[in-house]
Amino acid sequence: MSQPKTVNDASTDTSGSGAARTIKIFDTTLRDGEQSPGASMNLTEKLEVAQLLAEMGVDVIEAGFPIASPGDFEAVKLIAQTVRGSTICGLARCSDQDIDRAWEAIKHAPSSRIHVFLATSAIHREFKLRMSPDEVVERAVAGVRRAVGYCDDVEFSPEDACRTEHDFLCQVVEAAIDAGATTINIPDTVGYATPREIYDRFSMLCERVPNIDKAVISTHCHDDLGMAVANSLAAVQAGAGQIECTINGIGERAGNAALEEVVMALRTRSDYYECKTNIDTKRLVPASRLVSKTTGIQVQRNKAIVGRNAFAHESGIHQDGMLKERSTYEIMSPEDVGFAKTDLVLGKHSGRAALADRAKTLGFTLTGEQLREVFEQFKALADKKKEIYDGDIIALVQQQISGLADEQWSLVDYVVTSGHRRSPQVELTLRHGEKEQTERVEQGDGPIDAAFWAVEKITGIELVCKDFRVRSATLGRDAIGEVNLEVEHKGRSYRGVGVSTDSVESTILAMLNAINRIESERAS
């Protein structure tokens, strides 16, 4: 592969520091990412994620697929009304209804984009769309034209582009640009392509589509064969000016290219790619944590850039080298991607400002109300635990973030007894609005099971537990225990998170978090 061309540059730096193209980062965590099985986020969570994406310098935020559901529409609209600094994009199929709905949702943003897509590969044309090639071109052009009628920033994606015949792909792309598309995205929808093929396909488009210079060419790679990041970088080498990606690489099936990986690859190997992005890389770890928490999808320990082990050196030889000179074994510094330098300790005497400041360093900007609530929990925790570490603060803040604004059920009190050869007993009191209700159960095969029974009895909501994970947020026997729960109710999956130094309490809080999600979905 040759060095980067300058076709379709999003922009070029001619400051004298070397011509570095600025590659646009288009984040689709809230759209393709949310399509990950079990990853749905509520309105508050989506807004929180969008705000962090904008603060970190993401150029375009694909906030959702407005026609998909009323909840999706509301989330995109709220993000368009609230989030500033990034272009807000809504996805639509090439149909009038979809495009009108997308525009309705994004029109309040100072900078907005409509993203229309239509499948172009033979396999999709024949079996899914049942359309002839001419009909596909016609529909694509009509979709782009309708979107252009609303908005001058229009992206067109020929879905399954990487399995589309070259001649036909060139024809569709040319027609879409003629119709007014300003970005042409070339998705590897099924994650089938290899880096070399991607490079050749993008080069082919740059060479053969006569009006290609009128649009930014973009890459959108899925990770089915584990090549999404490599493929995205190959596209950049062939002239792509935009990368579509998601935080932690979440997305449909095996996911999309991971934002943190493409950004750090372009930055760390700028000598090779001669490209840069607008991303504040110190926000990568906080963004990863936030997305992991809000989607319930945990980040593997050895995940590049943001995994817990990404900068951990275990072998003696490596540790020795690191002590002598960091660059012997480290190509990036942990601080550059947002790992905190110190695990600063707060305690009982730390004030609200110190807590807000620490939370900010860890990547969370709390509103007045959020800070008030987290501070209350922080004080309660400080009474139980002498030293409070970053992990504790992250757990408290993230629990607060995943709580719902209109929380219906909350914990008032509980007493649990259990023992060897004794049935567990739980006496539980919950609040719902102004009303408190207490139930006593003597059922289950342990205190956690008994807590499940008691919560179900009071709320009247039956749950099937699909996954239950407890982990300690920090070191030490007095560490906060975080429970992550996945439950099923009426065939749908819901998540819940709860934190406390007492694991039964964490469980009850996680259950209530899930139940509040069920109730809020019923209400919307």
Residues lying near ligand KIV in the complex (CB under 6 A): 32, 117, 157, 159, 185, 187, 189, 220, 222
Bridge partners for 325 per DSSP: none
> Which residue, 221 or 359, has its beta carbon nearer to Zn ion?
221
Least distance (Å) between residue 27 CB and Zn ion: 13
| Cβ nearer to ligand KIV, comparing 228 with 487 | 228
Tell me the closest approach of the beta carbon of residue 33 to ligand KIV, in angstroms.
10
Interstrand relation of 242-245 and 216-221 (parallel, antiparallel or unpaired):
parallel
Q: Are 156 and 113 in contact (CB under 8 A)?
A: no
Report the alpha-carbon distance of residue 516 to residue 499 in Å, rounded: 16
Residues 6+ apart with CB under 8 A from 507: 448, 451, 452, 468, 483, 485, 498
- Determine, following the binding rule CB under 5 A, whether residue 32 of this chain makes contact with Zn ion: yes
Compare residues 36 and 507 and give the one whose CB is closer to ligand KIV: 36
Q: Segment contacting Zn ion (CB under 5 A): 29-37, 151-159, 460-468, 516-524?
A: 29-37
Closer by beta carbon to ligand KIV, 223 or else 390: 223
Token pair recorded at residue 82: 């609230």
Which one, 121 or 398, has the nearer CB to ligand KIV?
Answer: 121
513, interface contact from Zn ion, ligand KIV, none, CB < 5-8 Å by kind = none
Nearer to ligand KIV, 258 or 355 (CB): 258
DSSP label at 128? I
CB of 159 to Zn ion, least distance (A): 8
Check: CB of residue 482 under 8 Å from CB of residue 498. yes
Helix, strand, coil distribution of the chain in percent, nearest 5: 45, 20, 35
CB of 139 to ligand KIV, least distance (A): 15
Nearer CB in complex with ligand KIV: 9/62 = 62
Q: How far is CA 213 from CA 47, 108, 164, in A?
A: 35, 29, 21
- Report the DSSP pairing between strands 422-432 and 409-419: antiparallel
Which of ligand KIV, Zn ion, none is residue 255 near (CB under 5 to 8 Å by kind)? Answer: none
Closer to ligand KIV by Cβ: residue 98 or 482: 98
Of these partners, ligand KIV, Zn ion, none, which one is at the site of residue 157 (CB under 5 to 8 Å by kind)? ligand KIV
The answer to whether residue 160 forms part of the interface with Zn ion (CB under 5 A) is no
Under DSSP, the state recorded for 129 is I
Q: In which element (H, E) is residue 112 found?
A: strand 112-119
Beta carbon of residue 284, minimum distance to ligand KIV (angstroms, whole number)? 23
Of 25-33, 274-282, 400-408, 482-490, the window that binds Zn ion (rule: CB under 5 A) is: 25-33
Distance of closest approach, residue 11 Cβ to ligand KIV, in angstroms: 23
Instruction: Report the nearest approach of ligand KIV to the CB of residue 161 (Å).
Output: 8
Residue 159 binds: one of ligand KIV, Zn ion, none (C-beta under 5 to 8 A by kind): ligand KIV
Give the helix/strand (H/E) hosting 472. Answer: strand 464-472
The option from ligand KIV, Zn ion, none interacting with 9 (CB < 5 to 8 A, set by class) reads: none
Angle at 493 between CA 367 and CA 516, to 5 degrees: 40
Report in angstroms how near the CB of residue 187 gets to ligand KIV at its nearest: 3
Long-range CB contacts for residues 75-79, cutoff 8 Å, separation at least 24: 75/30, 75/43, 75/46, 75/47, 76/102, 76/105, 76/106, 77/104, 77/105, 77/106, 77/108, 78/43, 78/46, 78/47, 79/30, 79/46, 79/47, 79/50, 79/109
Closer to ligand KIV by CB, 187 or 447: give it: 187
29 binds, among Zn ion, ligand KIV, none (CB under 5 to 8 A by kind): none
Q: How many residues bind Zn ion (CB under 5 A)?
A: 1
Residue 218, helix vs strand vs coil: strand
Nearest to 451 by CA among 468, 426, 469: 426
Q: How far is the CB of 252 from Zn ion (least distance, A)?
A: 5
For helices 70-82 and 43-55, the axis angle rounded to 10 degrees is: 40
Q: 119 or 173, CB closer to Zn ion? A: 119
77 binding partner (options Zn ion, ligand KIV, none; Cβ < 5 to 8 Å by kind): none
Chain residues that interact with Zn ion, rule: CB under 5 A: 32
